[in-house]
């Protein structure tokens, strides 16, 4: 599965931890930046770039990281065909894939530990969409 990951300065550290963990598990992960956690950058640019990779079929899932995950999710959800979820618990990480077929996970580097961020990302990536009645509801979103 091809994954893309991106962050602003507030999410840089957890992006790096998540990327390393996913690569170690054998996932194909493309890092779209930012390249450090000290220089202030504009999160909408990174969110839009990541969403474009999914929209154009170059990636299946994406992970966006900022200070809280909220800003990234707001930008991502304005992009056609993107279903982004900002979350902080295991149940939501699983259910957003099973029932909502979310294709972008948004996490907050200032509100989650590195360990929790990695756990949530792994759950998100490894949980399949159930389809069935849930697909009908996804179609209603579009």
Question: Which residue of the set 51, 65, 66, 106 is catalytic?
Answer: 66
Is the sign of the CA dihedral 69, 71, 72, 77 positive or negative? positive
Report d(CA 102, CA 34) in Å as an integer.
23
Report d(CA 75, CA 12) in Å as an integer.
18
Q: For this structure, is 134 an active site residue?
A: no
8 Å CB contact between 107 and 46: no
Q: For this structure, is 99 an active site residue?
A: yes
Report d(CA 28, CA 9) in Å as an integer.
23
Question: Which residue of the set 9, 99, 106, 134 is catalytic?
Answer: 99
Report d(CA 76, CA 109) in Å as an integer.
17
Report d(CA 70, CA 90) in Å as an integer.
17
8 Å CB contact between 96 and 42: no
Q: Which residues are catalytic?
A: 66, 99
């Amino acid at each position: 599965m091809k994954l893309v990951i991106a962050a602003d300065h507030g999410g840089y550290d957890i992006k790096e931890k998540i990327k390393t963990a996913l690569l170690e598990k054998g996932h194909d992960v493309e890092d779209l930046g930012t390249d450090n956690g000290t220089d202030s950058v504009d999160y909408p640019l990174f969110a839009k770039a990541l969403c474009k990779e999914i929209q154009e079929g170059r990636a299946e899932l994406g992970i966006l990281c900022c200070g809280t995950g909220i800003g990234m999710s707001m930008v991502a959800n304005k992009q056609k065909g993107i279903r982004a979820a900002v979350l902080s618990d295991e149940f939501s990480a699983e259910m957003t894939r099973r029932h909502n077929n979310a294709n972008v996970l948004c996490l907050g580097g200032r509100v989650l530990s590195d360990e929790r961020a990695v756990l949530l990302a792994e759950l998100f990536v490894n949980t399949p969409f159930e389809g069935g009645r849930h697909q009908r509801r996804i179609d209603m979103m579009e």
